[in-house]
Structure formats: C-alpha cells, structure tokens
Structure 1
Amino acid sequence: MSWELDVSIIIVNYNTKELTRNCLKSVFDKTNGISFEVIVSDNGSNDGSVEMIKSEFPQVVLIENNANLGFGAANNRGLKIAKGKYILYLNSDTVLLNNAVKIFFDYWENSPEKEKIGALGCVLQDDKGNVIHSGGDFPTYKKEIFRLIKENVAISVNSLLSFFHIKQIHKKKNRLLNAVSESVDYVTGADLFVRNNSFAEFDERFFLYFEETDLQFKMNKNSLKRILISDPKTIHLEGKSNKIKMKSLDRYISFSSAQILFSRILYFKKNNHKKIWLFIIFILEQLYLFHFFYKTKNMRKKLWSLYVS
C-alpha cells in the first residue's frame, strides 16, 4: 500500500490548551527531513484549545469530537483519517527536544528486522532531565494482587494518619535505562510509534489507561517486538514531580485513579481471564473503594458491572 506521508502525529487534547500549544510548537520546530501531518483529536475542550489551534496552527488537522470520548477512542478518530505510513501517538503534555519523529522513522525503516517490529518508544524524561516511566512489563495477576494489597494497607495507614493530621510524602525513584535500545513488553502511550495498520487501533472499551498495554499485548501474541530507543529525546510533563504530597485522601478517588481500577479489571478479563484470580483482584479493588464509603458508591457499582459483564 502506498502512503501519502511518512508519519501522522496524533495528539488527543482535553482542556490542555497551554500544554498542547507547547507540544505543537515543539513538533513543528523540531521535525524535519520527512513528510508528516499533525492531527489533534479534541475531546470537547472548553478552555479555548480549539480556537487556539485554529488561530496559531492552521496546518493542524483538527477533529472536534464535542465530547470526552476517552483516550483510545479519540486516537482512533485520528487514525481513521491518517495519511502516514507510520503513526506517532503523542500526549499533549510532551515536548520534543530533537527530531524525534524522523529518528523513529529512520530506525524502523533501516532495521533489518523491520517486519518484526510492532512499536517503538523512547526513554522519557521530566523537565529536570530525570528518566521517568517509558515502558514496562505486562501486568500479571501476581503483581497486581500484590500491588492492590500494598495499596489497601497504605490507604488504611494513611487514613489513620490523616485522622491525626499527619502528612506523608512518598518518594519514587527513577529507573535509568542506559542501553541504546531495550525490548519491553509495552511502550507507554505518551509517545507510541507504530505502523499504520490494524495493530494501531485501540480497543475503545478502555476509556483511559491500559489501552496501550492491551494494544501491545496483541502485538506480542503476533510476535511483534516493542522497543525503547535512546536517540529520540522527549519530555513528558506528567512526571514533572518526583514527590507526591499526600494533602488529601481525595486523590485516591480521583477520576484517574478510578479509571485505573476499571481498566485493570477490563484488561484481565480480556487477556488473562482466570475467574479465581480476577475475583481476588475485584474484591481487592472493592475493598480499596470501600475506604471511602458513600463517596464511591457509584464507582463500586460500575466496577461490579464491569466484572459481571
């Protein structure tokens, strides 16, 4: 199949006007030597993002979804009209530091095993140059059950600490990746470079989180490699702070944390369906939500509907 362009860069925007402006500026400033297009799939933003894009970046192909479709679905809208041989899924809170798009393209095109590649990513960094989450291993029942047990213990302890108005600060350490390239189970969706084919389409049942993991689990079953390479340089501002200040227990029941719980159940139901282990994860997630009693009544009901569906 012949393609009109080398790469289609797809960015999902939802009320991230300033971040999207900086991301787009970095893309157009840094990308050269290849033919490309930028598609922004906007999920019903009301912060002036759409007007900003139309005014400052008229070359961008703008999709106005007029509703928050979720991350995977919004990316799929861009995929449907993409003219590039390759797709770069790029978060709106990223900034390219070099000609990363061409580096991805050249690596794939020049690889002697290019037909065996499913996805590329880079070693992401925060705005201070620290290495942050860039990829990882596929979730397993053992790992997720252990994680949920730790979360339940932690939240119980912090509930007591909050009662006595004691603040906790949690530190997380960056894992340095020194290799020129490293095979991983999955590349994070913040900068996911894939071929424009059926393996580029997300399962829209995942509203947020686990969608890129699910996508690359399918690649894995088809013996396609997922690789992090060191030459593309990208800042991901989601990892801006290395400290999480426990100001309130409300962060535990934020929209994002709820989506992680829902998507975790969906991922295991779809890809590793063993009823007993899924049941244990479900119970641990319900226990996690039960810490908040009435605040999470609807969330617990939704989790139940996902489990039994």
Structure 2
Amino acid sequence: MKDHIYIIIAVFKRLEITRKCLESLKNQTFKNFTVILVDHCTGDDSYKSLIENEFPEVVLLKGDDSMWWTAATNFGINYVLNLKDTAESFILTLNNDLIAGDDYLEQLMITYNKYKPCLVGSVSVDFDDINNVDFAGCHWNIYTTRMKDNFGKTGDIYKKIEKLDFIESDLLPGRGMLIPMEVFAKIGLFDNDLFPHYASDFDFSHMARKAGYKLIISPKAIVRSMVKETGLRFDKLSTSKPSFKFLYLTQTSIKSPLNIKTRFNWAKKHTIISPAYFLIDTTRILLSYFRYTLKYYINK
C-alpha cells in the first residue's frame, strides 16, 4: 500500500507503559498506518488479552526470550516484507515508552516528502518537561568519539526547535525513525549480530546515510519520552552513591548503551583505526564516571 506506515513496537512486559503509547496512536491525523506489536516475553499472554480487548486493530506477533530490541524489531520488519504491495510503504520504529502527539505521523510524512530520499527522525522530549530535550539530532565526531547533541538538553531549546523547518543529524535513534521500505532492499535489516540491543539503530541510520539517504529530523514530530524507563545510564544515578557495581553493569549489561562489547563492535565496524577509537571512547566514559563520582562527594 502506497504511503502506508507500519509501526513496529518491540515490547517486553511493561504493559501499562505500552497501553499509554498505543492510546496516543489512536487519534492520529494521518490514518494510513498499522501498528505491529512484537511481544518477545515467553510464557506471558498479558499482551494477547490487551490487544483483543482494547486494541483489536493492532497486529500482535509473538517472539521469544532470546530476542532483544534488534531481533524483535527485525521480526516485525520481516512480517511486513512478506506482505503484498508494501514497496512504497514505510517502517516506523517506535519504543513503547513514547507518547506521540496527534499530528505526529502527519509531520513525519510532511518532512519526508519535502526532503526525500531520506530517513526521518523524531524530536524526543521528557514526558514531564518538554523543555528537557532528550534528542533533537546529534553530531558524531569520528576522532574524539563524542556524539554531541545539536542543541544541548535544557533551556529554551524547544522554542528554538519549533521555529526550524528541518534538523540534520549524523545518526538517528530507533525511538521514532521513519524508514522507506526501499532502504531494507539496499542495506538489509538491523545488525543483530554486532548490536543485539543498543546501537543497532545508530548503525542502521549510519549505513543508510552511506547509501545516499539524508538523515532528517522533523522539528514538529514530537514524542514525549519516559526517559527514566530507558536503559542503564549515568544520569539515572541522580544523587545516589556511586558504586563499582553500577559502573560494572554499565560496561557489561546488554541493557546499557555503554556496554563495552557494543562500543568495541561500533569501533570495529565504523572507524578507520578502531583500536585507537575504542581506547579513546572507553577512556572518555570512565572519565565521565569519575567526574560524576567526584561531583557526588564534593556536593555531599
């Protein structure tokens, strides 16, 4: 179906959060879409009951516990690829801890039609404070390893973003990324081998950019993000006492964007001198944790 959006949402428990996300998609001004929920929690039928009773229009696919975000998302994409007449359609990857505005899908499509061929990302703001911007594009420095936010995160950023027609980004996260179906024929699916959970979205968007697609963010395609529900991050520590255990988890847990294996795989796949890049990247992360620890004890 032409200009049809297939929204892929990978879920693992968190039923109430998902319910809020699905509710936000019910009143979209753009109507030509299908939501595909990929439940990869084995032995839990709570989503089946939710879909049957409250969201019968949603397609529910059952995965298994071996899947993380990448495999579950690919599972949903493969389902769409096996349907008929989807060549001129779109995949939208969306996390279940996001709340979309009523014109969200419409704004994504407006931006796509202006700047195609492209992938279109979303502006992600904090659920409780829209002036706290979680993502509005980034610049990736291949030498210093830093991924710097285009606008920072706080202040009057939201007002600045509202006035823009588009935002360019070096990478796009899967938290609201519109992808033309043709892209999968050119670069394949998300890389589950190297990036089973984190970084597969950045990796995919980077590969699409290398294949000739612009990475554009629609300033008016806003999702409110439940930031505190997302991964293992230093900023989740808040005022908690730093611990070696937490540092260890950030480096080893598959749920962490700082996972050392993930960072190594990124360096290996996307940088010229990967050992040097990986060393700089790891050092920078450890220094960030040291600064947090120092700040904690100074302010104590």
Please classify the TM superposition score into its range, dividing by the shorter chain length.
Answer: 0.7 to 0.9
Match of 2:142 among 114, 118, 140: 140
* 8 A contact 1:126–1:240 mirrored in 2: no
Match of 2:166 among 177, 181, 198: 181
1:226 positional shift: 0.5
SS in 2 for 1:124: strand
Q: For 1:261-280, what aligned pairs fall within 5 Å after superposition?
A: 261-278=260-277, 280=279
d(CA) in 2 for partners of 1:73, 1:102: 28
One-letter identity of the residue aligned with 1:121: G
Q: Percent identity?
A: 23
Match of 1:34 among 31, 35, 39: 31
Number of residue pairs the alignment of both structures matches:
257
Instruction: Return closer, same or farther for 1:60/1:273 CA change in 2, 3 Å cut-off.
Output: same
* 8 A contact 2:111–2:166 mirrored in 1: no
- More relative contact order in 1 or in 2 (CA 8 Å, sep 6+)? 1
The two structures have a TM-score, normalised by structure 2, of 0.74
One-letter identity of the residue aligned with 2:197: L
d(CA) in 1 for partners of 2:22, 2:126: 18
* 8 A contact 1:42–1:50 mirrored in 2: no
- Structure 1 gaps of 5+ residues are 148-171, 292-309
Which runs of 4 or more aligned residues in structure 1 lie more than 6 Å from their structure 2 counterparts after TM superposition?
A: 240-243, 285-288
Q: For 1:251-262, what aligned pairs fall within 5 Å after superposition?
A: 251-252=246-247, 253-254=249-250, 255=253, 256-257=255-256, 260-262=259-261
**Equivalent in the alignment of 2:219:** 230
d(CA) in 2 for partners of 1:18, 1:43: 16
Instruction: Return closer, same or farther for 1:143/1:258 CA change in 2, 3 Å cut-off.
Output: closer
1:245 positional shift: 2.9
d(CA) in 2 for partners of 1:174, 1:25: 28
SS in 2 for 1:123: strand
* 8 A contact 2:69–2:196 mirrored in 1: yes
* 8 A contact 1:132–1:239 mirrored in 2: no
The two structures have a TM-score, normalised by structure 1, of 0.72
Instruction: Return closer, same or farther for 1:181/1:239 CA change in 2, 3 Å cut-off.
Output: farther
Instruction: Return closer, same or farther for 1:90/1:41 CA change in 2, 3 Å cut-off.
Output: same
Q: Deviations over 1:23-53 (max 9, x none)?
A: 011111x223431110011121648334323
d(CA) in 1 for partners of 2:272, 2:174: 24
Q: For 1:138-287, what aligned pairs fall within 5 Å after superposition?
A: 138=140, 140-143=142-145, 173-174=153-154, 176=157, 178=161, 179-197=164-182, 198=184, 199=187, 201-205=189-193, 206-238=195-227, 244-249=238-243, 250-252=245-247, 253-254=249-250, 255=253, 256-257=255-256, 260-278=259-277, 280=279, 284=283
**Equivalent in the alignment of 1:103:** 107
1:219 positional shift: 1.6
Instruction: Return closer, same or farther for 1:268/1:35 CA change in 2, 3 Å cut-off.
Output: same
Instruction: Return closer, same or farther for 1:275/1:6 CA change in 2, 3 Å cut-off.
Output: closer
**Equivalent in the alignment of 1:153:** none
1:273 positional shift: 4.5
d(CA) in 2 for partners of 1:78, 1:31: 21
Q: Deviations over 1:6-27 (max 9, x none)?
A: 1101101012211111001111
Instruction: Return closer, same or farther for 1:56/1:269 CA change in 2, 3 Å cut-off.
Output: same
SS in 2 for 1:137: strand
- Structure 2 gaps of 5+ residues are 291-300
d(CA) in 1 for partners of 2:125, 2:278: 37
Instruction: Return closer, same or farther for 1:174/1:240 CA change in 2, 3 Å cut-off.
Output: farther
One-letter identity of the residue aligned with 2:124: L
**Equivalent in the alignment of 1:129:** 130
Answer 1 or 2: which has greater helix percent: 1
